[in-house]
Chains A and B, each alone.
Chain A
Amino acid sequence: MTAASRSAVLATVAGLAAGWLAAMLLVWLYGESPRAIALQLVTGTWAVPYGVGQVLYKATALLLTGVAVDLALRAGLFNIGAEGQLAVAGLAVAGTAAGLPATTPAWIALPTALATAALAGAAWAVVPMVLRVRYHGHEVISTIMMNRVADALVAFCLARGMALPGTVRTADAIPATHLPRLDAVGLRALHGSSVSAALPLAVGVTACVAVWLRRSRIGREVVLVGMSPRACEAAHIPVGRRLGVALLVSGAIAGLAAAGPVLGNKGYFESGLGAGAGFGGIAVALIGRGHPVGLGLAALLFGTLDQGGLAINGRVPMEVVTVVQGVVIAAVALADARIRAVALRGVTS
C-alpha cells in the first residue's frame, strides 16, 4: 500500500470514528443514552430480517449512485448530479412502465424500462458533458445546477398530467415491468421488506463497470485520462471523448438507481422517491475508494445508517445519522489529493 492510499484509508477510518462520536454527542445532548440509541440502531437494522431487507433496499440505490460518482471520479470528474439524474430517470421509467401496453411480455417490458432509466440518466448528463468537454465548464457547477432543474422538471411534469389527478404519483406500472421482491422469490425471511431483484442487478452493474475499467480499451483510457489529461493528449488519446463517455455512463448508472424504488418497490414514481440517494452516492464513492468491494461495503454502511435513522427516529431526530455522513465526507475529501485536485481545478488553472 502506498503512503498516499494508507493516509486515505486512515482518513476514512478517522472520519467514521469522528462522525460516530459527533452523532453520539448529539444523542447525549438530546438527553438520551448514546449506548441505548446505538443498540437500537443496530437491532433496528441487522438484528431483524425486515431490517436487513430494508438496509439492502437502501444500499441498492446507494451502490449504483456510488458506482456512478466513482466512475466519473476515475476520469477526474466530480459528478454531483446523480441526484437529478436519478430523479429524472425515476419519472421517465415510471412513465414508460405505465405506458407500455398491458400485454407486453416481461422479456421486452423489463429491459425497455431499465433502458429508459439509463437513457434518461445519461440524457441528464449531456448538458454538463458538453459544457465540460467543449467549453471547459466545471462539471461540479453544471451538475449541481442540473439537480435543481431536475427538481423543477419533475414537479412540472407531475403537475401537468403525469401524476394521477389529485396526487403527486404516476400511474401504476404494468406488472411485466416489476422487478420481483426478494421475499417473493424464496427469501421468505426478508418478508415485508422492499429489497428486490434490483439488488443483484446493482451488484452486476458494479462488477461490469469494474471489468470495463480494467479490461476494455476505452475504460482503461478513461482511467489514464483521469490521472493525467495532458500526457494522454500528448499521446493522442482523445481526452474529450473519454471524459464525455465517462460522464454519460456515470449518468446512465445513476439513472439505473431509480429502478429499485420504482420497479422493485412502489410500482410508480412519486415526488421525492429515491431522493437523497444521489448525494449519498458521493459519500459511497469517497469511502469506496475506487474498488468495487469498497463501494459495496460503503453502500451497506450508509444503507444501515439510513435505515437505522428510521429505527431511532422515535427518540432522537434521524438527522443524527446524517452527521456521521457529513463528517466522513469532509474528512475524506480533505485527505484525498484526488478530490482536492478535482475541486481546485479551475481555481488554480
Chain B
Amino acid sequence: MPAILSLDRLEKRYGAVRAVAGVSLEFDAGRVHAVVGENGAGKSTLLRMAAGIVRPDAGAVRVLGTALPPGNAREAIRRGVGMVQQQFALAASLTALQNAILGAEPVRALGALDVRRARERADAAAQEIGVALDWDARVETMGVGDRQRLEIVRTLMREAKVVILDEPTAVLTPGEADALYATLRRLAEAGRAVVVVTHRLDEVRRYADVASVIRRGVLVSTRTMHGGAEDSIAAITRDIMGAEPPPQLERARRTPGEVRLAVRDLHSGRALRGVRFEVRSGEIVGIAGVDGNGQHELVRVLAGLDAPDAGEVHSVGGGGGIGCAAVVHEDRLAEGLVPSALVRDNLVLGELARFTRFGIVDAAALDREAHVRAARAQLSAASLDLPASALSGGNQQRVVVARVVCGGERAPVLVLAQPTRGVDLIAARAIHGEIVRAAESGKAVLVLSADLAELRVLCDRILVLARGRIAAELPPDAPDARFGEAMLGAPRPVVERSSEVAP
C-alpha cells in the first residue's frame, strides 16, 4: 500500500541558498510523524511544498501515488492535504463558525448560506477530535489554543487525509501542548497521517511514532521511535546538531579573571523563566540548546533592546543595558546588517557619532576606520563600495563580527548568537579566531549556538538553555547524551563543574 503522502526528491532554492536539497519522505496513515531540525534547516519549506503553498524547483508530491500539480494549495486541499501554518490564517472579526466554513460554505438553492448544515459539519469535525468550541465566539476573543483547534477543525472539514502542523506548540503552554497531541493521536488512530514540524525533542520523544531529521536542507535520518528510547533521542540530537569534524582551533590556556557579566533571575514573558549565570573575564561560555528555548529573548535583553520583566543583568565596567555588551545578533540580514547600504556604512553602523563634528560626518575618518575593519574582516578595499547584500553570507558575517569586535572594544562583554550559521568554513574559522582573541584580551564572551560541535571547541564551559531556564552546566567534553538529556528540560537543574576551569 502506498504511503498517503510521499515527497519525491523535492528541491527548493532561495537565491544562492538551497533551502531543501532533494528530500524524499513518506508519510503513512495512522502515524504521528515528527520532522525535526534547527531553525532554517528547511523543514518548514519542505512541508509547505508538500501542501502546495510553496512551489518546488524540482521533485514531486504524491497523494496516494498520484502526483499533485506543483504549488497549487487549492488542489492539495481538495486531494486531502491540509496544513496548519505557524501564522494562523483566521479572520479575526468573524466567528469561529464563519471561519470554519470560510471558502467552503454549504449553500442551499439560490446560493443562500445553509447555517444549520454548516454547524452540523463543524460539530462533527470537532467531535471527532474531542474538542468543544463556541461557534458564535469571534476569533479575536478566542485564546491561542482554541484558535489552533479551530484551524484543525477547519482542516478536517475539508476532509484532510494528511494533517500537517508547523511548530504547533510554539504558542502553547505545556498543558495545551499535551491536549494538542492527544488530539493528533485521535486523528492518527482514525487513519490519517499526521505530520508535525518541531524542534522540541521532548515532544518527539513523548508523542512521535516516526522522526525524521532535516539538516541544512538534507534528510539526515528517519527513525521509528519505540516508546521514546533515550538512545534514539541521543542519536537524533547528534543528527540535528551535526557531527562534522570540528574546525581546527588551537585551544589556548586561559585563566578566567573576575566576573564581568552576572545575569540574575531573568524573566521575560514565557521565554525566559529565571535565567542565571555568570561569565568571567577571559572566559568563553557557550549556551547550547535548540532554538526557541529563550535564546532570542536572552540576546535582546543582553543587548539592551528589551527590558526584562524581572531580574537583572550586571556587567562590570558597563552597568546594565546598553553598553554592557557588544552583540552579534542571530539574524544577520535583518538585525546584523542594512543589506542595501554600503559595506563601508555597515562596518560602522550605529557609530556615526564617533565620526561626527558639529553634526557633519567626517568622511575621511570614517573611511580610515572602515578600511581598518575591512582588513580585519579580510575584505578587499573594493568591496567597501558594494552594498552588503552583494557579499556572500560568510563575508557578511565577517562584516558584522568585525564591526562588533572593533566597535565594542571597550565593552566588557561580547555576545555572539549563532555566529557561524550559514557561513562557509573559512569564514567560520576566522570568526572563531576573533572569538578566542576577544577572550584572550580579557573580555567575557558568551556564544549561543545550535551547533554543539562549535561550542565544544570554543568554550570553557557550556550551559544548556531549555524552556527558558539554564537546565545544566556541562564541561565541553561531556557526552552527547548528557546534552540531549538537558535539552529535554530535565526537571531539576544539573550543575556540574568543568574539571578544566576553576570557578
Contact = CB atoms under 8 A, between A and B. Distances in A.
B345 A224 contact: yes
A231 interface: yes
B274 interface: no
30 contacts: A2-B387, A215-B360, A215-B363, A216-B360, A216-B361, A217-B353, A217-B355, A217-B359, A217-B360, A220-B352, A227-B338, A227-B339, A227-B341, A228-B337, A228-B338, A228-B340, A228-B341, A231-B334, A232-B349, A232-B350, A233-B305, A233-B335, A234-B303, A234-B305, A234-B329, A234-B335, A235-B350, A236-B322, A236-B350, A237-B350
Contacts of A236: 304, 322, 350
Given A220-B345, A236-B322, A236-B350, A231 B338 contact: yes
Contacts of B305: 233-234
A304 B338 CA distance: 38
Interface in A163-204: none
Nearest to B335: A234
B162 interface: no
Interface string B328-364: 0100001111111100010001111101100111010
A157 B7 CA distance: 70
A227 B352 contact: no
Nearest to B322: A236
A69 to B, nearest CB: 20
Interface in B283-336: 303-305, 322, 327, 329, 334-336
A230 interface: yes
A230 B336 CA distance: 9
Given A221-B352, A231-B338, A215 B303 contact: no
A181 B359 CA distance: 35
A215 B338 contact: no
A217 B361 CA distance: 6
Contact of A216 (B322, B336, B341, B359): B359
B352 A231 contact: no
Interface residues of A, number: 19
A228 B361 contact: no
Nearest to B336: A231
Given A224-B341, A228-B334, A230-B334, A215 B349 contact: no
Interface in A198-251: 215-218, 220-221, 223-224, 227-228, 230-237
Given A223-B341, A237-B350, 14 more contacts: A2-B387, A215-B360, A216-B356, A217-B360, A220-B345, A220-B352, A221-B352, A224-B345, A227-B338, A227-B339, A228-B340, A231-B338, A233-B335, A236-B322
Contact of B356 (A217, A230, A231): A217
B349 A217 contact: no
A224 B349 contact: yes
Contacts of B327: 234
Interface in B363-379: 363
B418 to A, nearest CB: 14
A294 B91 CA distance: 43
B361 A224 contact: no
